[in-house]
Structure 1
């Protein structure tokens, strides 16, 4: 495809996808990158430099292709999410983006959610693990090693809602109360109403991803996290459909927690994954009190947002927490944190989350050696106390670095470790 405002690198090759949606990655891939809004203008280039260095250290080359969304797109296209940005991310299969600003209460809807929907990136994966040297609010942050699989397209994030004071919201209210028989459910006066869709299709493809990951990475358990005791036909259905996948599609590779205790006395088979479930509010407690007992979490969209952020707090905060979005044969890496516009352009903030999001991207590309270099180099910078202000203020005798300087230190570490 010919692009108007996106410059395709003159060198480099496309990542291809097999009929089974497996990535075929050359040693010189073209990878689109959206720096993002706010601090994205700082952390985006920092992540580029680190990932580029890791690729070169392992005999490969990343050919970056700048794409635009949010503020950078408005400057060039006079719109937030241009069609050619979506097309570029579709055509080149694997990409990475920084944070994009979403107005609260009014204005345009989330561009992050829009991208996930348009590209059908139905799984959001957030690995949460502690890096040595990062200050944490808990006593034993090293116990945290969970991977959250968050459904990415449904739940309240589907954006089906009606604004208070409109004719439409009154029609929905009347339908709920009069036609469906939910009398006195909704208070009188202004009301906003939203719909929370959770489907069998969306649930099962997410849970398959979580179970496959657990099997491929020698993880012990997959926990379905839901609020099915209250929302029986949405989150309760998520739980039931998740168990159906486990029971019907994986044979002896997967057993339920009930089977584990009723038939095996709690003794887990060596090569099997245990599937269990927990109520969402209880799970928020469990990640603190029984951190090391959980492994892979599979969650509806909203629960996944809450729980993964809570996990991130235990390993030092969202400045450290990476993420990635997956569809069939498609990858979009992005950090968990927001755009923090008050720090934009100050070359100040911590780029670790975006760097480590790129690290996950490298893993899904099959570049595990480069991915390991990135993690080790980042951790070494923190152990050496050569860090950005957010960590420096919590650590004695640390050297405070700018965003770009920190990235340079990580690159130096890569060169020394390669």
Structure 2
């Protein structure tokens, strides 16, 4: 079955049912050490994972680690340009859940990004990035503790699908000619627009299927959160890109108000319901005027549409959502992408789960991570219906490799996400407790130590930080 790797003799596969993992007590979990600083990060992180599982379950549960290869280490084993060998893809597919350190960007070999390739090959459509502050972590933000969000970023579509053509290539020239001559003039909303002849061309596909399966997973996550955090915000630039980003927003609302009708209320529906609750005999037109800015300046046709919306909401969900019942539902709202970048800084505590397309999510997850301590403290997961890969979110930092000095926090917290995904919450909680206590007691690696006031001297090594986390399990 495998060319150069051998699974552990003991342990069982993780299987899936309806998109959720079924985890045995002794699962086999493939791991990719990672390039560059992965040589330091993985041993430290594995020691923390094993210690937490042992402390939580006393031998009743155990992870059987299965080493597989990707990146530069794979090339050493399999040959030049073999960055992502079939052995590794098969093992991840076979055992369902895997974890990886940082991987290098290949030079040659036809793969733009190993991370993107793994997501697309295994259809890991949801990139999940929690951003939560641990007390004592240096932050450029004045109140970083107010930010506690989980970003659900669509992984397989948008411009990250990577379909583009170089300026001057035959296909780019053909597409520009087709668009300028036949397609753009045939659509009145585009007027006399023309694409410059010296352009590169890329496409931005956003599908209903891809959008709704991401939002579905985000809503299901919201159902597991405490009532105060049950909110899903659809992040988009639909005011400009109406048929891609705007469609993402619309399809998200459609899913929430059909498949999750009993569990969800939209922000706009909540306005309509609360208007009636405050004024039971409020006329439909007055309710419409309250929810729609500039209502009186709208055309009669548009006013009629708003009134029809109000009437429909009251007729269909008043019994199940009215009289304050909507306050116990998951709130689904939407925000323009550029606005949410401001709001996670100025009003971070108003948000919980952010569901977004690929490019917006890429920007947003790094910006949110910066508020709570940077990518060194940013965990990540890539989740599909039959597979999940958990990963460090930072780069390989090769100049630090082998020096035992970098922060393993990102990989360790990604392991926390993996344990939570597996249903091993007790072990996950021990690691979060130990990590938080180590930081609060100023026992940190150099990246955090140099930013603390006063700076910590000397900082801990990577391996020593892992030891500190384990030591604080019982704090």
Q: Taking structure 1 as the reference length, what is the TM-score of the superposition? A: 0.95
Partner of 1:82: 85
Kindly indicate whether residue 357 of structure 2 is the aligned counterpart of residue 348 of structure 1.
no
Structure 2: give runs of 5+ residues left out of the alignment: 186-191, 278-323
Q: Which residue of 2 aligns with 1:72?
A: 73
Alpha-carbon separation, structure 2, partners of 1:325 and 1:255 = 28
Q: Which residue in 1 is equivalent to 2:290?
A: none
User: RMSD in angstroms over aligned alpha carbons?
Assistant: 1.9
Deviations 1:273-294 (A, max 9, x none): 1111111001111111111111
Shift in CA distance, 103/231, structure 1 to aligned 2, threshold 3 Å: farther
TM-superposed deviation, 1:358:
0.4
Superposition deviation, residue 245 in structure 1 = 0.4
Distance 1:14 1:184 in 2: 55
Q: Tell me the secondary structure at the aligned position of residue 149 of structure 2.
A: strand
- CA–CA separation in structure 1 for the residues paired with 2:14 and 2:438: 32
Q: State how 1:5-404 maps to structure 2 within 5 Å.
A: 5-18=4-17, 20-59=18-57, 60-78=61-79, 79-102=82-105, 108-181=111-184, 185-189=194-198, 191-218=199-226, 219-265=229-275, 269-395=326-452, 396=454, 398=456, 399-404=458-463
CA distance in 2, matches of 1:300, 1:156: 10
CA distance in 2, matches of 1:88, 1:104: 24
Q: Where does structure 1 lack aligned partners over 5 or more consecutive residues?
A: none
In structure 2, what is the Cα distance between the partners aligned to 1:350 and 1:72? 21
Residue range with higher mean Cα deviation, 313-322 or 39-48: 39-48
Tell me which moved more, 247-256 or 267-276: 267-276
For 2:23 and 2:124, how far apart are their aligned partners in 1? 19
Q: How many residues align?
A: 413
Higher alpha-carbon deviation: 76-85 or 358-367: 76-85
SS in 1 for 2:333: strand
TM-score (norm 2): 0.83
Q: Take 2:377 and 2:51, find their aligned partners in 1: how far apart are those partners?
A: 20
CA-CA distance at 1:83 after TM superposition = 1.1
Cα distance in structure 1, aligned partners of 2:257 and 2:369: 31
Distance 1:51 1:277 in 2: 37
Task: Report SS of the residue matched to 1:310.
Answer: helix
Checking the alignment, whether the CA contact within 8 Å between 1:260 and 1:268 is kept in structure 2 is: no
SS of residue matched to 2:393:
coil
Question: Which structure's CA Rg is the greater one?
Answer: 2
Between 405-414 and 122-131, the greater mean CA deviation after superposition: 405-414
Q: Cα deviation per residue 1:42-94 (whole Å; 9 max; x = unaligned)? A: 21222111111111112221111111111111111121111110110011111
Q: What per-residue deviation string (whole Å, max 9, x for no partner) do you get for residues 293-312 of structure 1?
A: 11111000111111111111
